Amino acid sequence: MSEKAQTEHGQLVGVEKLRSSCDPASLGFATTAELEPLDGLIGQDRAMEAIRLAAGMRASDFNLFVQGPPGMGRHDSVTTYLREHAATLAEPDDWAYVNNFDAPHKPCALRLPPGVARKLALEMQDVVDDLAIDIAALFESDDYQAASRVINEEFGEQQEHTMAAFAEKAKSEDVAMMRTPMGIMLTAIKDGEVVKTDRFDALPEDERKTIEEKINRLQVELSEILRNAPKLDRERRRRIEALNAGMVGEVVSSRLREARDAFADIEVVQAYLATVEEDMIGNAEMFLAVTQQQPDGPFPESVHKAHSNPAFQRYMVNVMVTREGDAPRGAPLETEDLPTLDRLAGRIEHVSQMGALMTDFTMIKPGALHRANGGYLILDARRLLSEPMAWPTLKQCLQSESIPITSLGERLSLISTTSLEPDPIPMNVRVVLIGDRMLYAMLITLDPDFGELFKLQADFEESIARSDDTQALFARVIGTRAARNGLRPVSAGGVARLMDEAVRRAEDASKLSLHLGALADLLREADHYAGEGARDIVIAEDVEHAVQQADRRASRIKDRMREMVRRKTLLIDTSGEAVGQVNGLSVIGLGGYLFGRPARITARTRMGSGKLIDIEREVELGGPLHSKGVLILSGYLSSTYALDVPFSLQASLVFEQSYGGVDGDSASAAELFALISSLSGVPIHQGFGVTGSVNQNGQIQAIGGVNEKIEGFFETCLDQGLTGDQGVMIPAANVDHLMLRQDVVEAVRDGQFRVIAISTIDEGLGVLTGRDPGARGPDGGFPPDTVNGLAEARLRGFAEQRLKFSQSAKPTGQGG
Amino acid sequence: MAAPGPGHKRILVGAGSFADARAALAILDLLSGVGITDIGGLFLEDREVMEAATPRTSALVSPRGAIGTAPSRQVLRLMWRSDARAFRDRLIQLAARRALRWSFERAPGEPVAGLCNVAHSWDWLLIGHLPSGAHAGRVVGVFHGAAAGGDGVGELTEGLARSLGTGAELIADTLPEADILARLERVHAAAVVIDAGAGPFRTAAQIRALLAAARCPILVLGAAGIPSLVEYSTQIPQPPPGQAG
């Protein structure tokens, strides 16, 4: 079989189309050090427009989902843009929680101007510290002592006067007051002695009645006096409290007036301080009690920090979010790498007291939503979705535009202890989720809330059209990354080699891959080799070395498979001819590493009822796409050959020595070639590897992984010896995707290997068999000696054979 | 509290009910730095109360003003026993806390007279009486002579007042006894301090009148000066020679 014969049907792909290398000379610079830095991304206009829109709109439901594969620079670009944009926005207000003096389990949220929350917190600490000293001094002052003593003595003497008068009266009426364990016993006396029963009985009736009457009367009077004592004491306490309120009120009001003046224009602080004043006056004794508990330490009373005493926590300010002095101006931009429920929406901590878990408003801790309030929050979608209750909580916050704080245990009713119901803080946060396309598809499909809350998507392109302009931009991106990562400048040759790698990763000679993360990894490795070589710049050889080393590190399985083919453990022929047998090409992917390998496909045919058996599908090793491809073959055969007779073929197809799953339809053309070969009995040249899918009209369609497939078959041929007759047949539509390794290109240039593009099955049959495939003539039939003619004749033979068989098996109808 | 100079003071606390005893022990607990080494408790059961407790000639009013009939003898005995036990327990607790020697005895008799009868073997007496009111009144001292301080009454009075967080009032015994009693009738007092060895209140009758007027615990210094009417017992031993009040 001559080269001419093999190629007159397909199109021999020229060397120049096998690898569209970038010419370093066309870049116009020596090293990237000469280039202007280029921050941001190239080729992501669509995504950046979405990001800009999300940043600018303040509607709560225009949140953004940034989708695309990792390594596209999604995080960097979103963060960079939002940081710049946030700096132009107004600073959001501070938020703080303070005690609710009426309902301590429902802390109040205070909205304060930027930077005020911390000042207010410090002011309240000072207020408590000052009052702890001032109020204690007040209670110890002579003024207070004298005033309180006057009240105590007034009431004490009032009671004593009453008792003294009663005692006098009782004495004057000859009644003694005797103390007993049960109380005071009033008893009649006569002539200085107690009137005992026998003496009483001897008295005249009227005198006895008089004694009984006065005893009863005095008993009632004494009872009234003693009953009145608690009332008097209550009145005394009220007077003391009024005294305390009056004197303490002056001290508290005086100190809080200073605080009010410090926050004169802030109405909410004025209102809060009014409630504080009322509570402080009502609980003035707390200051005294705490001061008296202070141990005598080495420091004078004036430096005691009373605000750290738990009793005064009620007057503290729990700053949830504030703008510190050295914080960047503008709106906040927050990220949360571990978006648990607590870290997202805040939490309420507890402390153990006497075995019970206790909490108060000072133990409310902010979450990422609090910190990002008024600005932007960037979250990794996968991490968010993998944290229990985090996603429902985020949705709830976005829907209600507020941040309620509820612990996981509380939501799941796992714990029963004292808890709080803080005022929800109003929320205005633009949430940006970054995830892959699968996550986006699942969320938009399965979660009806997602579409409502995340109305914007930024879909990152994976490649960019290749042109002089984009190559120039690409070079600047490489230079910028090198500089930012502290790497050596890259020579023009190095940039060109990186660009070649970008083209290969794009699987399209007319495009550049935008997987900048992977290219940056390659650049860093190349920089390492440049360092080992004591070079000041990264050159093409460094990049090439990095590519080879990365390939070598990942190629253990590929090498083992090559070895198995070499040793005939896996049967692949790269020379000779065989009927019903063709070399299909498949791609195996492991992580980010892809490699191609040939697989023997065989077909067997015989008379039947039109059934095409896909053995892979029968044993459930074939995927749905593969099955679809095989069924298309059946459609092609039945609509191409022997149209006037029943389709009377039974055929079987198999990937030989394939023990794993097979999917995709890229081998359907190869399977069809094997079937037609088997039908026609025309052998196929085994020096070819074939890839491409086919439709029912016999047109060859593009497939993926074309470079790896060609290289995989090339390596097999190389191992078995290059003959010059070998090559790979690919769909013509894939020619633009070629970016082959340099060694393959060299082999083609040297005439040792070929790449042939085909557009139809007939072209492929011509290449593989070296014979005319045959086209239908004016009589409607294929020429007899052509591949198609032989195949049709065989099928017609099957139909006739089947007809004869059915006639011979038909019953005569003569039964008796 | 600041107090007179150190010594080996023996104090006898007497009361006819636990309520009165508790008020006295509260005052005793405030006495520190005065060299107390022994405390004694004497619970006195006034049998005259038993005799007087008849339904037609007597009536009862509780400390909070509840009206009741005079208790029966059996009830009185039970109450005395219960109060005596509580008094003893509280005394033991205080002695243990302060590392003091203690003794306790129940005896029949009117409280003031009973205490005065055994007073000569003790340095100080503390006569229990529940004061009125929930807050502490002032501490009143009746001092001997023209100026306070010489007999220790003044310092004790001031010290107790400081400990109670209240005021002190010192009355000179140069005033007629009736005037002093009249003054005490109207003062809301937490305690009264007197010196039986030097002041006008020396006999049981005088001290009883003082107690009736003051209606609060009375701390009697110089108890050895009070005339004794009873023999020593095993529970109330004779004092060591040379340690009288």
CA distance A247 to chain B (A): 19
Residue A81 lies in a domain: no
Which residues 68-87 in chain B show a CB within 8 A of chain A? Answer: 68, 70-71, 75-76, 79-80, 82-83
Angle at which helices A205-262 and A284-293 cross, to 10°: 80
User: Touching check for B55 and chain A: CB below 8 Å?
Assistant: no
- Residue A62 is predicted with a pLDDT of 92
Q: Are A292 and A304 in contact (CB under 8 A)?
A: no
On whether residue A14 sits in a domain, the answer given is: no
Cβ neighbours of A182 in B, within 8 Å: 60, 62, 68, 71, 75, 79
pLDDT at residue A301 greater than cutoff 60: no
The minimum CA-CA distance between A191 and chain B, rounded to whole Å, is 14
**Chain B positions in Cβ-Cβ contact with residue A147 (cut-off 8 Å):** none
Q: What percent of chain A has pLDDT above 70?
A: 96
The verdict on A554 and A597 lying in the same domain is no
Query: A4 an active-site residue?
Result: no
The secondary structure element, H or E, covering residue A237 is helix A205-262
Closest chain A C-alpha to B211 CA, distance in angstroms: 12
Report CB contact under 8 Å: B188, A156: yes
Lowest model confidence (mean pLDDT) among A81-95, A294-308, A415-429: A294-308
B209, pLDDT greater than 70: yes
B128 CB neighbours in chain A (<8 A) are: none
Q: Which of A179, A189, A219, A236 to mutate to test the interface with B (most CBs of B within 10 A)?
A: A179
Residue A507 shares a structural domain with residue A541: yes
Q: Do the bridges between strand B138-143 and strand B36-45 make them parallel or antiparallel, or are there none, so unpaired?
A: unpaired
Is A91 inside a domain boundary? no
CATH value at residue A414:
3.40.50.300
Tens of pLDDT, residues A634-685: 888 888 887 888 888 888 888 888 877 777 888 899 999 999 999 999 999 9
Of A155, A223, A228, the CB nearest to B67: A223
State whether A644 and A758 are in the same domain: yes
Q: Does A145 fall in a domain?
A: yes
The interface predicted TM-score (ipTM) is 0.84
pLDDT at residue A296, rounded to an integer: 52
Q: In 3D, which of A683, A696, A647, A667 has the Cα closest to residue A765?
A: A683
Q: How many CB pairs under 8 A join A and B?
A: 163
Min Cα distance B132 → chain A (Å) is: 8
Nearest C-alpha in B relative to A182: B62
Give yes or no for residue A304 having a pLDDT over 70. no
A732 in the same domain as A592: yes
For β-strands B36-45 and B101-108, DSSP reports them as: parallel
- B60: Cβ–Cβ under 8 A, 6 or more apart, which residues? A180, A182, A183, A184, A185, A186, A219, B67, B68, B69, B70, B71
Question: Is pLDDT above 70 for B56?
Answer: yes
Residues of B in contact with A194 (CB under 8 A): 48, 51-52, 57
Catalytic annotation present for A709: yes
Out of B82, B132, B135, the one facing A160 most closely (by C-beta) is B132
Q: For residues A266 and A116, is the Cβ–Cβ distance under 8 A?
A: yes
Which pLDDT score is estimated for A1?
Answer: 42
- Measured between beta carbons, the chain A residues lying within 8 angstroms of B75 are 182
User: Would you say how long chain B is, in residues?
Assistant: 245
Of A155, A180, A220, the CB nearest to B71: A180
Whole-angstrom Cα distance, residue A43 to residue A796?
Answer: 57
d(CA A154, CA A202): 47
What is the least distance, in Å, from the CA of A253 to any CA of chain B? Answer: 28
Q: Are residues A132 and A269 in the same domain?
A: yes
pLDDT for A581:
95
User: Does the CB of B89 have a partner CB in chain A at under 8 Å?
Assistant: no
Do A546 and A638 reside in the same domain of the chain?
A: no
Does residue A344 sit in the same domain as residue A372? Answer: yes
pLDDT at B34: 82
Does A350 lie in the same domain as A248? no
Structural domain harbouring A712: 573-803
Instruction: Clarify whether residues A472 and A604 are in a common domain.
Output: no
What is the predicted pLDDT for the residue at B147?
53
Q: How far is A139 from chain B (nearest CA, A)?
A: 12
Question: Dihedral, CA atoms, A318, A322, A325, A326, nearest 10 degrees?
Answer: 120
* Cβ distance of B19 and A232 shorter than 8 Å: no
Q: For residue range A318-327, what is the model confidence (pLDDT) as tens digits?
A: 999 998 767 7
> How do residues B138-171 score in pLDDT, each as one tens digit?
899 998 875 555 568 888 999 999 888 888 888 8
Q: How far is B8 from chain A (nearest CA, A)?
A: 32
Q: End-to-end CA distance of chain A, in Å?
A: 64
Could you read off the pLDDT of A429-456 as tens digits, one per residue?
999 999 999 999 999 999 999 999 999 9
A729 and A785 together in one domain: yes
Please identify which residue in the block is written with the tokens 């996550």: A439
Q: How many structural domains are present in chain A?
A: 4
Residue A815 belongs to some domain of the structure: no
Q: Is residue A200 part of a domain?
A: yes
Which chain B positions have a beta carbon within 8 Å of A208's beta carbon? 56
CB-CB under 8 Å, A183 with B63: yes
What pLDDT does residue A779 have?
85
Of the candidates A164, A183, A197, the beta carbon closest to that of B60 is on A183
Nearest CA in chain B to A184: B61
pLDDT for residue A571 is more than 90: yes
Indicate whether A641 and A724 sit together in one domain. yes
pLDDT at A138 over 90: no
Query: Residue A344, CB half-sphere, CA atoms under 13 Å: how many?
Result: 30
pLDDT score for A576: 93
Distance, CA of A150 to CA of B106 (rounded, Å) = 41
- Same domain, yes or no, for A255 and A377? no
Tell whether A528 is covered by a domain: yes
Using the beta-carbon criterion (under 8 Å), do B61 and A156 form an inter-chain contact?
A: no
> Is there a contact between B52 and A181 if contact means CB atoms under 8 Å apart?
no
Q: How do residues A750-759 score in pLDDT, each as one tens digit?
A: 999 999 999 9
Residue B47 has pLDDT above 70, yes or no: yes
Taking residues B71-81, what's their average pLDDT? 90
CB contacts of B71 in chain A (<8 Å) are 180, 182, 185
Q: Taking the CB of residue A436, how many other CB atoms lie within 10 A of it?
A: 15
> Could you tell me if B80 and B70 are in contact, meaning their C-beta atoms sit under 8 angstroms apart?
no
Distance CA A132, CA A45 (A): 63
Average pLDDT over residues A249-255: 89
Nearest to B163 by CA among B35, B30, B28: B30
Kindly state the percentage of chain A with pLDDT values over 90. 52
What are the tens digits of pLDDT across the range A466-518? Answer: 999 999 999 999 999 899 889 999 999 999 999 999 999 888 889 999 888 88
- Once rounded to an integer, what is the mean pLDDT over residues B44-55? 85
- Residue B54 and residue A216: Cβ atoms within 8 Å? no
Give the range among A305-309, A654-658, B35-39 with minimum mean pLDDT: A305-309
User: Could you tell me the pLDDT band of residue A812, with boundaries at 50, 70 and 90?
Assistant: low
- Residue for token pair 């829907």: A399
Give the per-residue pLDDT at B7.
65
Going by pLDDT thresholds of 50, 70 and 90, the confidence category of residue B231 is very low
Question: What does pLDDT average to over chain A?
Answer: 88
Q: How far is A246 from chain B (nearest CA, A)?
A: 21
> Is A547 inside any structural domain?
yes
Contact B72, B135 (CB under 8 A): no
What is the percent of chain B where pLDDT is above 90? 35
pLDDT mean over A55-80? 87
Residue A276 has pLDDT above 90, yes or no: yes
Q: Does A182 contact B60 at a Cβ distance shorter than 8 Å?
A: yes
**Rounded CA separation A150/A97 (Å):** 43
Q: What is the pLDDT of residues A686-701, one digit of tens each?
A: 999 999 999 989 999 9
Question: In this predicted structure, what is the pLDDT of residue B26?
Answer: 93
Q: Has residue A598 got a pLDDT over 70?
A: yes
Looking at residue A637, its amino acid is: L
Interface probe, candidates A182, A205, A224, A235, chain B, greatest B C-beta count within 10 A = A182
Out of A295, A330, A353, pick the residue that ends a domain. Answer: A295
What the block records as the tokens of A317 is 């300010």
Among A402, A429, A459, the domain boundary falls at: A459
Q: Does any CB of chain A come closer than 8 Å to the CB of residue B133?
A: yes
**Is residue A421 predicted with pLDDT exceeding 60?**
yes
Nearest-by-CA chain B residue for A139: B165
Give residue-wise pLDDT tens across range A337-347: 999 999 999 99
Choose the mutation target among B43, B46, B57 for the interface with A, i.e. most A CBs under 10 Å.
B57
> Of A107-121, A280-294, A349-363, which gets the smallest average pLDDT?
A280-294
The one catalytic residue among A407, A666, A668, A759: A666
pLDDT of B230 strictly over 50: no
